[in-house]
Amino acid sequence: MRIDWVDYAKGICIVLVVLMHSTLGVEKAMGETGVINGFIHWAQPFRMPDFFLISGLFLARRIDTPWRDYLDKKVIHFLYFYLLWMTLQLLFKGPGIHAERGLEGVVHEYALAFIEPFGTLWFIYLLPVFFITTRLLRPLPPVLVFAGAALLEMSHIHTGWIVIDEFASRFVYFFAGYWLSAHAFRLAAALDTLSTPALASALLIWAWAHTHAYLHGFVTGPGFGIAAGFIGVGAVIAAGVLLTRFRAGEVVRYLGENSIVVYLSFFLFMATTRTLALKLAPQLGPDLISLATTLAGLAGPVLLFWMTRNTFLRVLFRRPEWARLASRPKLETSAKVWHSAGHDQQFEASSIRSQGR
């Protein structure tokens, strides 16, 4: 059993993430800005907060498991994929780094990646930090932890180190997903009682209000940023609930179900498509090329996953036994690949339009 609105919400987020990286990469290469640039900045207040909040939704079911099992599923799991794909990214970017700074530059970048997340993989690097921090802080009153995390977010800390800066700005959303998960599911259940026109109208009202706040700079002011983040997360949940009513949105659900598969490998297809498009058809302009690289960044990882899942290359997306602290139950089949933040998607509190997969 999977909870469809959760997958739809993750699908929305992964599309926004790939669109952002594709657009900014194309605009940097072309030296000009397109219309999509405004949209990706409009979505910034809630794009990653939603990803982190959903990553914490199912932690309550796992947080009290023995440390060995917890470390295996919440730390080793992500470290394996981070190290693997960090190495692959460096191999892909290595020739350029070598041409600019020589072998010493390549070695320096690889060594630095152990303490400073490499490229787009900072999300994968940061999740184990959040899982460990949340478990260690478990004896403290949750409201106190939440308040401290909210103060960190509102402090707008900028040290130049990704782990420190992103921890300060994102932990409040991850912890909220863990601590307030029951409320998130109740919100989804309440939204599901609304008619389709009413739910769509509510989303349009939110979009208008968010646009107004964005244009007037309120989404980045003290306290406003975190408010825009949580309200935006609520809007994404509402959009996820709405999409469960339409089979046409199935591709979004599938991308959400396999969001980490996309997140790990989209850079390969995005960068390759961008290079080819800029060389063969630069006249298309930044927006069309950005959309093309986004589609490649979404479809390419799915195709790679399908092509490798029954081969020795399945280790690209499925952790092998030697990289585990605990043995995997034999009844689990290869179809049960890891999903989103590695969570078991069975959740007893809610199952809005859940379907057997």
Q: Classify residue 339: in a domain, yes or no.
A: no
* Rounded Cα–Cα distance for residues 100 and 35 (Å): 32
Q: Classify residue 294: in a domain, yes or no.
A: yes
Q: Classify residue 181: in a domain, yes or no.
A: yes
Per-residue tokens: 55: 């990553």
Q: Classify residue 9: in a domain, yes or no.
A: yes
Number of domains in the chain: 1
Q: Classify residue 346: in a domain, yes or no.
A: no
Q: Classify residue 286: in a domain, yes or no.
A: yes
* Rounded Cα–Cα distance for residues 354 and 335 (Å): 18
User: Containing domain of residue 247, as a range?
Assistant: 4-323
Q: What angle do CA 163, 168, 174 make, to 5 degrees?
A: 95
Task: State the pTM of this model.
Answer: 0.88
| Alpha-helical segments (H) within the chain | 4-30, 36-56, 67-71, 77-112, 122-136, 142-154, 162-179, 181-192, 196-215, 224-243, 250-257, 259-280, 285-308
Q: Classify residue 103: in a domain, yes or no.
A: yes
Q: What angle do CA 107, 108, 113 make, to 5 degrees?
A: 100
> Rounded to an integer, what is the distance from CA 173 to the centroid of its chain?
12
Per-residue tokens: 281: 């058809």
Within 10 angstroms of residue 311's Cβ, the number of other Cβ atoms is 9
pLDDT in tens, the chain (357 residues): 689 999 999 999 999 999 999 999 999 999 999 999 999 999 999 999 999 999 999 998 889 999 999 999 999 999 999 999 999 999 888 888 888 888 888 898 899 999 999 888 999 999 999 999 999 999 999 999 999 999 999 998 999 999 999 999 999 999 999 999 999 999 999 999 999 999 999 999 999 999 999 988 887 766 788 999 999 999 999 999 999 998 878 999 999 999 999 999 999 999 999 999 999 999 999 999 999 999 999 999 999 999 999 999 999 999 999 999 865 554 443 333 333 334 443 333 344 445 444
Q: Classify residue 127: in a domain, yes or no.
A: yes
User: Scanning the structure block, which residue is given the tokens 């099992």?
Assistant: 69
